[in-house]
Amino acid sequence: MSRKLPLGEGETARTACARGLLRTGVVEKTGEVLSAAVLVQRVGWAADLVSGMAAGLLAGHWNATDVDVLASGEDAGGRTLPSNAWMALRRLGWTAAPARGVRVNDRIVRMAQEQAGRALRSARWRAELTCAVLETWPGDPGRRTPEEWDRVREAVPGGRHLPSGVIRSRTRQITAFATQHGRLPADVFELEAAPRAARMLLLSACDGQQATIERGEDDPQRALLRLQLPTRPDPRSYRDWTWVACPVPLPPTIPPGAVLHLPTLRLAGSKVRADLAYTHAVPRTSRTGHTVALGVDWGLNTLLSAGAARLHDDGHITALGHGAQFRATGVLARQHRLRRLSEHLHAKADRYQRLIDETTGHPLTGRHEVLREEIRRVCDRRSNLNDALARAAARWTVDQAIAAQATVIYLEDLRSMEAGGMGRTMNTRLSQTVRGQIADRIRHLAAEAGIAVVTVPPRNTSRHCPRCLSPLRHRKAPDRPTTPGWKWAICPDRAGCGWQGDRDHGAWQRIAARGLTHQAKTVTDRPTMQMMIRTVVDTLETQAVITPPAETSRTDRSKTGPTRRKTTRPAPRRRRAPSPTGPSGPAGKRPEGHAPTDRRRLPRAAHRHQGETTISTPSPRLRPGGPPSSRHRPRGATLGAGFHLHAHATPPRWAQPTPDAMSDMGSLS
């Protein structure tokens, strides 16, 4: 299989990852078919061998000296260390060996060294951050002065563009250590224990003598993974290792022409998951030269507000339509309830732990184990809910950009946002919204469509008018112009501008206009390879205004006489021709009226491949003299139900967008 990816003009190679699942395997030597449980057991034996050696490497080199040597990129002789972590560790002489009497090949040792080397390299940044916070320790850790903020940002590498929440979280961690031990820690290696080695197999550190992967010749959406697995937990010789062939169904997100790489195998309960890495060709994105952009503003209940803007040749900017909103009120409320439940369970489990206090056979031990299992389940539910919300919001955002034919998405940069001043509950909900996951998924999906994603500074995006940059007055609602609030914005310049609208709609217009005028200031952050606009230039900011649409001439429809009197009971409108014969179906013939005849099934449930029995059937209730009915009709069966009942998004991906889909967009209900 060729590992070279042919690229056309205007294309670039992109490496991504998709999730797969190993369900079965075949022993090549004997032809024995391994069930899912046996395959999980054998992969677990190999993962235990790897994680054991990796844990020994981490414990032996978890100190400032070794981490600095590895992060310096040079060995004792001044030679540059290889980029692969396992090769760098071997150059430095950091070796690992299995337990006495256990025989493994060299590729198993490679995977352990690769896992430990990656963890040790990632510790360098945390060590520098911790040292900078300790050197500039403030007088009041809970509230730094502006001078103390400047000092700590100067001490941290790249601290000028580091989110404030990262520095605050590290400060709280050091404060907790000082409270417990009565002194400040020396460095991050005293503050944190050595990281735990995960049970996984990094097959990317191996070659063909340990694992291979090939696409199926007949079915390109299937791949065959061959790897050596032990037949016992403590293999004594190489005869205890055997080749196992595992068919892997490829997800539809992997293009047929993509080049597959060796995956990473992870144990998730009773399943073996494979992180399938692949490289494929995508359109090349550009930092400048954009004329149509999608501005995205963050919110709370209205999680995302987005709309498109166009930059004309003469320099003025116009909005394409009224924009759209992604509302996730129900999902965020459920997330908030799960967070409160998790805090309650953690507090109860901590109380049980203090009462047990290393007592053997304590009567509360059983209850404590039950609580720990319930905490794990609640955490899994929160994680799954966050993943679903991030996927839906990112897909919605990218679809808006594709429909508007935008080449760039300007995203409000709120990495350092830490809410305050709005009450304890509201502050927590604002701070724990999954903005980071949504932004990462937006970048992932936008790269496949050749759309650039640029973060824009959020300063004054919701405070100034998008048309004249005047400070806005925020009110509770449009019909309550004198009641202070934050949802509705009114421009005070009623004579010159007169704009008013939803606060979030004005914000996405400001974000899109700021991004289009600051294209020349777009830079690529080298550590993260993300495009961003770091500073706002005042001369360019004065041009970042939305030009109002030209008023169209309309016929004067002012009232010139009395209104004609109408009857209180008008006659129903009748058809002059008989109704056409409708198609045969459960609805029968079309009645006299406006009932559509071209829909045989529920419109949204059909697109979501869900029937009317997706949720539980309500209990019937007999009415006197009539057929059985229901006290409550489940709305989910009509709308498709599930997660998307609460997260309102755009039509599905296979729906063809209209040429000017943004010109008539409103609130998506």
pLDDT in tens, 49-67: 999 999 999 999 999 999 9
Does pLDDT of 650 surpass 70? no
Give the pairing of strands 222-230 and 522-525: unpaired
Q: How far apart are CA 594 and CA 504, in angstroms?
A: 37
Does pLDDT of 129 surpass 50? yes
The pLDDT of residue 416 is: 57
Does pLDDT of 362 surpass 50? yes
Could you tell me which residue, 602 or 480, shows the higher pLDDT? 480
Task: Provide mean pLDDT across the span 147-157.
Answer: 91
617 pLDDT tier (thresholds 50, 70, 90): very low
Does pLDDT of 32 surpass 50? yes
- Are 320 and 309 within 8 A, CB to CB? yes
Residue whose token pair is 């580091």? 162
Provide the 3-class DSSP secondary structure of residue 171.
Answer: helix
Best CA proximity match to 528, nearest among 162, 166, 1, 63: 162
CA distances from 323 to 305, 469, 548 (A): 7, 19, 14
Does pLDDT of 634 surpass 60? no
- Are 466 and 508 within 8 A, CB to CB? no
Does pLDDT of 421 surpass 60? no
Best CA proximity match to 621, nearest among 609, 613, 612, 630: 630
Task: Provide mean pLDDT across the span 626-650.
Answer: 49
Task: Provide mean pLDDT across the span 144-168.
Answer: 87
Task: Provide mean pLDDT across the span 281-289.
Answer: 91
Q: How far apart are CA 230 and CA 104, in angstroms?
A: 9
Does pLDDT of 607 surpass 50? no
Count Cβ atoms within 10 A of the Cβ of residue 361 and give its class: 0-12 exposed, 13-18 middle, 19 or more buried. exposed
pTM of the full structure: 0.75
Beta bridge partners of 641: none
Residues ≥6 apart with Cβ < 8 Å to 166: 129, 416
- Are 649 and 400 within 8 A, CB to CB? no
The pLDDT of residue 415 is: 66
Q: How far is CA 650 from the centre of its chain?
A: 18
The pLDDT of residue 274 is: 95
66 HSE (CA, 13 A, CB side): 17
CA distances from 403 to 312, 319, 652, 664 (A): 19, 15, 12, 12
- Are 175 and 141 within 8 A, CB to CB? yes
Beta bridge partners of 16: 278
The pLDDT of residue 405 is: 93
Domains of the chain: 12-36+211-283 (no CATH), 51-191 (no CATH), 292-329+397-541 (3.30.420)
Does pLDDT of 583 surpass 60? no
The pLDDT of residue 511 is: 94
Q: How far apart are CA 141 and CA 651, in angstroms?
A: 49
Give the pairing of strands 317-327 and 222-230: unpaired
648 pLDDT tier (thresholds 50, 70, 90): low
**DSSP E strands, 261-378:** 264-268, 271-283, 292-298, 302-311, 317-327
- Indicate the average pLDDT of the chain: 83
Best CA proximity match to 428, nearest among 346, 342, 339, 347: 339
The torsion angles phi and psi of 438, rounded to 5 degrees, stand at -65, -45
Does pLDDT of 621 surpass 70? no
The pLDDT of residue 105 is: 92
Other Cβ atoms within 10 Å of 540 Cβ, number = 16
Give the pairing of strands 408-412 and 292-298: parallel
The pLDDT of residue 48 is: 95
The pLDDT of residue 618 is: 47
In this structure, of 173-177, 280-284, 527-531, the range with the lowest mean pLDDT score is 527-531
- Are 598 and 585 within 8 A, CB to CB? no
Q: What's the pLDDT tens digit per position in 544-565?
A: 899 887 766 667 777 788 888 8
The pLDDT of residue 106 is: 93
Sheet-wide strand order for 33-34: 33-34, 25-27, 241-249, 222-230, 211-215
The pLDDT of residue 654 is: 45
Q: How far apart are CA 240 and CA 86, in angstroms?
A: 25
Best CA proximity match to 359, nearest among 348, 368, 370, 346: 368
Enumerate helices (H) and strands (E) in the chain, giving the number of each.
15, 23
- Are 52 and 99 within 8 A, CB to CB? yes
CA distances from 38 to 21, 24, 33, 103, 267 (A): 15, 9, 10, 21, 13
460 pLDDT tier (thresholds 50, 70, 90): confident
